[in-house]
Amino acid sequence: MRTAPLVVAASLLITTGCGQANSPPNSQPPNAQGQSPAFEQQTRAPAINSSVKLEQHVILDGLKHPWALAFLPDGQLLVTERPGRLMRVSPSGQATEVSGVPEVMAQRQGGLLDVTLHPAFSDNRIIYLSYAEPRGRGRNGTSVMRARLADDGGSLTDQRVVFRQRPAWESGLHFGSRLVWDNDNRLFVTLGERGHEKPRQLAQSLQTHLGKVVRINDDGSVPTDNPFTDRDGARPEIWSYGHRNLQGAAIHPQTRQLWTMEHGPRGGDELNTPQPGLNYGWPVITYGEDYSGEPIGQGITAREGMQQPRYYWDPVIAPGGMAFCADNCPSAWRGNLLISSLNPGGVVRLALEGDRVTGEERLLTGLGRVRDLDFGPDGNLWLVTDSGNGKLLRFSPAQ
């Protein structure tokens, strides 16, 4: 068991609407020249400025590439580290390693990834972990383990894998891996298409889990109302398809609709609201270009039968986690969506009207790579920074 020391750090006052704490969005030219949005404000929505004053608190540093955070009912947090550690952290920064995590393939983008609590955690103490699972002969894939967190919070027991992405692939890229619960206590799992030219084509195939959102019951079985349960040859877990690498997901607090964020190539990061059975286009359509500067496929952005993103970025924001701002967060942000950014870094705030983006603000850009974020029970914004000396940070409204 590893115990990390309490971190005591001076607070830092940040005003999000001025100075180095934010920067204007959409100030760089797009990578994919000549592409046009399908509708007004599908990209480069007007810049907005909330001028919210925040106080930064360093809760814990020395984390090894933290990937996700989840709040326990008692106010503590679970934080995953990509090399394969799960940490239980008190609000004051005392951290203890939780034993019993699965073996992970901790290379490139792979490792221990997301964590979420069962909706009935207070009664059953069950959590779920997603991770890059080694499958032999160099192959791997995203898997989801269900386990019970011991009463003292120090270990996992009754571990059982409830989902495995098929097929396995020899790749260290694009594991997707965000876990969120729908209103009926079914678990959405976001899955990447493994990054390379050959498997990326399988994002369009219903015979694989590559480049998909899937939905399962809490025991790993398939919900009877999933869209492809009656189609021969289709994977019954599939909810939507034609995705690239979804690393953000959240349920809208009012509509209960699933929203997702996925990485594009050079340009083309997408915000979507995946509907059951629909095709979101990758790699046939995209608002981006390959890393070589060449077009993806035919270089088209629309095709009949393929869905348009609600919003997209070019240049990218390299999205991580995302969270809706509900009633107990700063009033200027209520009803907004906050997204962690790996590149250029910081946090992206989107103002929304229904499912349309009406404004964008860049916050906290001096933090660098922000991997995940959420609003805590205290209404404060909590996030983790992705580095070999990663931090768990809390931002509270300035007094």
What pTM did the predictor assign? 0.95
* Domains in the chain, number: 1
* SS3 call for 19: helix
Identify whether the C-beta of residue 367 lies closer than 8 Å to the C-beta of residue 389: no
Cα 64 vs. chain centroid, distance in angstroms? 18
Confirm whether 243 is a catalytic residue: no
Element (DSSP H or E) covering residue 174: none
Range of the domain at 384: 3-22+32-397
Residue 27 lies in a domain: no
Buried b (16+ CB within 10 A) or exposed e, 283-309: bbbbbbbbeeeeebeeeebeeeebbbb
Of 118, 174, 209, 243, catalytic: 174
Give the CATH number for residue 156.
2.120.10.30
Residue 340 lies in a domain: yes
Give the model confidence (pLDDT) of 157-183 as tens digits. Answer: 999 999 999 999 999 999 999 999 999
Q: Where are the alpha helices (DSSP H) in the chain?
A: 121-124, 197-200
Task: Measure Cα distances from 181 to 156, 261, 392 in Å.
Answer: 21, 16, 24
What is the residue-level pLDDT of the chain in tens, covering all 399 positions? 444 443 434 356 665 543 334 556 877 899 999 999 999 999 999 999 988 999 999 999 999 999 999 999 999 999 999 999 999 999 999 999 999 999 999 999 999 999 999 999 999 999 999 999 999 999 999 999 999 999 999 999 999 999 999 999 999 999 999 999 999 999 999 999 999 999 999 999 999 999 999 999 999 999 999 999 999 999 999 999 999 999 999 999 999 999 999 999 999 999 999 999 999 999 999 999 999 999 999 999 999 999 999 999 999 999 999 999 988 888 899 999 999 999 999 999 999 999 999 999 999 999 999 999 999 999 999 999 999 999 999 999 887
